[in-house]
Amino acid sequence: MLGSHIDTVIDAGIYDGCYGVLSALEVIQTLKEDGFAPSRPIVVAAFTNEEGVRYAPDMMGSLVYAGGLPTETALATVGADGTMLGGELGRIGYAGPHEPGFLSPHAYIELHIEQGPVLERESITIGAVENVQGISWQKVTVEGDANHAGTTPISMRRDAGYAAARIITFLRERAKNSNSPTVATVGCISFEPNAINVIPSRATLTVDLRDPDEERLRQAEAALAEFLDAISQEEHVEVSVERLARFEPVRFDQRIVAKIEKAAKDRGLTSRRMTSGAGHDAQMIARIAPAAMIFVPSVAGISHNPKERTNDEHLIAGANVLLDVVGELARR
């Protein structure tokens, strides 16, 4: 099985996901044209909702496929816009007849852009991805009291917006000062009532924490929980947390990783083993089959942005490595 996903974030680039699916189709086309007779079926997957932006968690389709989330639960997920995934899949004609997981892959390989700066910085063409960092997504809600911006002394405020700002700066300072590679991001925020002369009564924000090491990821979560306690006391606000996604770091199949390195070498391409900073469908399919990933460089490390780009030369190199590894895994 080879593939990736075709959903995107808001204001996305054109490579994240689609590149892996289109390359997989191209690999099959090429193998056919070459008269290649595989030892087993070769299947292309385009997983639903890998990004998780509208419906959490991310990698939802491959998670369901791997048996990690019941189909019904996934279809009943209510999105950030209040819609239900199942209804929306029906509406756009993407609700298929098969029960997910009907195939049990011999192996899964996913080709993807790196979405980060490592390969470009080191002038390396192929990333042989051997692991994926852990992901922790939480939604934090802060409740204070609406009051008048002009008449309420600072000392009497229960300002949900200020507490939210403190959470954002806490996460950044910790990520910057700790010697660990933990990254922390607040991507979404909203205030209520969201009026210029009203102290916010409620603030809602999302927290994305990642680390390749499970123990350090737990430490980051614990530090956040401790800070939320402290800020709720200090600012007299109520803080509640909802978990949106939690995936432990994943180690890929080392034999496939080695095949990727070898395929790159045989084509005269530079390569290195590396960790994926982003989540990917491969990390879910790794639960039911040997899996690994091939990365190609992202210009300036930009992704989740319309400026996302990968040079043609690198796009072709990645697809050729995918072709060779698939040929190798499906050889008679």
Ligand X SMILES: NC(=O)NCCC(=O)O
Contact criterion met (CB below 8 Å) for 159 and 199: yes
Choose, by CB under 8 A, the member of 186, 241, 288, 299 that binds a copy of itself.
186
How many C-beta atoms lie closer than 10 Å to residue 19's C-beta? 20
Contact stretch for a copy of itself (CB under 8 A) within 69-77, 96-104, 298-306, 320-328 = 298-306
What are phi and psi for residue 303, nearest 5 degrees? -150, 175
Q: What is the dihedral of CA 173, 176, 182, 183, to 10 degrees?
A: 80
In Å, how far are 68, 159, 218, 296 from 149, measured between CA atoms? Answer: 48, 10, 38, 51
Q: Which is nearer to ligand X, 129 or 321 (CB)?
A: 129
Residues in the chain, overall count: 332
Contact criterion met (CB below 8 Å) for 294 and 325: yes
How many C-beta atoms lie closer than 10 Å to residue 271's C-beta? 22
Q: Which of residues 93-152 bind ligand X (CB under 6 A)?
A: 115, 148-150
Regarding 279 and contact with ligand X (CB under 6 A), the answer is yes
Nearest distance in Å: CB 252, ligand X: 15
Residue 258: contacted member of ligand X, a copy of itself, none (CB under 5 to 8 Å, by partner type): none
Residue 284: contacted member of a copy of itself, ligand X, none (CB under 5 to 8 Å, by partner type): none
Nearest distance in Å: CB 50, ligand X: 6
Please name the amino acid found at residue 135: I
Choose, by CB under 6 A, the member of 11, 35, 197, 312 that binds ligand X.
197
The pattern of x and - marking residues 272 through 291 that bind a copy of itself according to CB under 8 A reads ----xxxx------------
Regarding 231 and contact with a copy of itself (CB under 8 A), the answer is no
Number of residues that bind ligand X (CB under 6 A): 13
Classify strands 183-185 and 134-143 as parallel, antiparallel or unpaired.
unpaired
Give CA–CA dist 46/191, Å, rounded.
Answer: 36
Burial of 275 (0-12, 13-18, 19+ CB in 10 A): middle
Regarding 302 and contact with a copy of itself (CB under 8 A), the answer is yes
Q: Which is nearer to a copy of itself, 259 or 304 (CB)?
A: 304
Number of residues that bind a copy of itself (CB under 8 A): 68
Nearest distance in Å: CB 229, ligand X: 27
Classify strands 134-143 and 238-247 as parallel, antiparallel or unpaired.
antiparallel
Give CA–CA dist 20/5, Å, rounded.
Answer: 7
Q: Which is nearer to ligand X, 150 or 153 (CB)?
A: 150
Q: Which of residues 6-65 bind ligand X (CB under 6 A)?
A: 16, 50-52, 58
SS3 assignment, position 4: strand
Q: Which residues, in sequence order, are CB contacts of 230 under 8 Å at separation 6+?
A: none
The residues of the shown chain that bind a copy of itself, judged by CB under 8 A, are 9-11, 51-53, 56, 58, 114-117, 133, 135, 137, 145-154, 156, 159, 161-162, 164-166, 168-169, 172, 175-176, 183, 185-201, 206, 208, 210, 244, 276-279, 301-305
The residues of the shown chain that bind ligand X, judged by CB under 6 A, are 16, 50-52, 58, 115, 148-150, 197, 278-280
